[in-house]
């Protein structure tokens, strides 16, 4: 397991698409170092030959019938949009 010193908050915050202030960076780094030190205890466990558990109960793919049913109407889907026009979400221009 990597050491908590390798934790680069700028890189991770960028991946998470979160902007942090300098003060937040310093505080989070210290707090997360504590958490990562606790998490490092998992290194002690012998996990050789152990399968990972993604869900508590093994489940296969769940299929639904390929049949159209009622879905959320466009106006309901748009009702919480920060900006909308003509049945569409409005965003800043992405392509020049």
Partner 1 sequence: MLDAGRLSAVELMRALIARRHSVDGRVKAFNSYDEADALAQARASDARRGSGKARGPLDGIPVGIKDVIAVAGQPLTASSRMLENFVSPYDATVIRRLRDAGAVCWGRLNLDEFAMGSSTENSAFGATSNPWDLERVPGGSSGGSAAAVSAGEAVAALGSDTGGSIRQPAALCGVVGLKPTYGLVSRYGLIAFASSLDQIGPFARTVEDAAILLGAIAGHDPLDSTSFKAEIPDYRRGLSERKGPWKLGIAREYFADGLDPEVGAAVQGAIEFYRKRGCEIREISLPHTKYAVGAYYIIATAECSSNLARYDGIRYGHRSTAATDAVDIYFKSRSEGFGEEVKRRIILGTYVLSSGYHDAYYLRAQKVRTLIRRDFLEAYKQVDAIITPTTPTPAFRKGEKSADPLAMYLNDIYTIGVNLAGLPGISVPCGFTGGGLPIGLQIIGQPFREAELLSMAHAYEAAHGWHARHPNP
Binding residues (CB under 8 A) for partner 1: these are: 1-2, 7, 9, 12-13, 15-20, 24, 28, 31-32, 34-35, 38-45, 47, 50-57, 59, 62, 64, 72, 76-77, 79-83, 89, 91-92, 94
Q: Which residues contact 55 (CB under 8 A, 6 or more apart)?
A: none
Choice between 1 and 68, CB closer to partner 1? 1
Please enumerate in sequence order all residues whose Cβ is within 8 A of that of 75, keeping only pairs 6 or more positions apart, or say none: 87
What is the enclosing helix (H) or strand (E) of 84?
strand 84-85
Shortest reach from residue 89's CB to partner 1, in Å: 6
């Amino acid at each position: 397991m990597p050491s908590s010193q390798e934790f680069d908050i700028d890189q991770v915050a960028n991946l998470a698409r979160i902007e942090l202030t300098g003060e937040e960076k310093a505080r989070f780094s210290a707090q997360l170092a504590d958490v990562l030190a606790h998490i490092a205890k998992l290194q002690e466990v012998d996990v050789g030959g152990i399968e990972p558990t993604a869900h508590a109960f093994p489940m296969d793919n769940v299929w639904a019938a390929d049949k159209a049913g009622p879905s959320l109407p466009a106006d309901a889907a748009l009702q919480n949009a920060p900006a909308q026009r003509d049945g569409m979400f409005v965003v800043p221009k992405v392509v020049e």
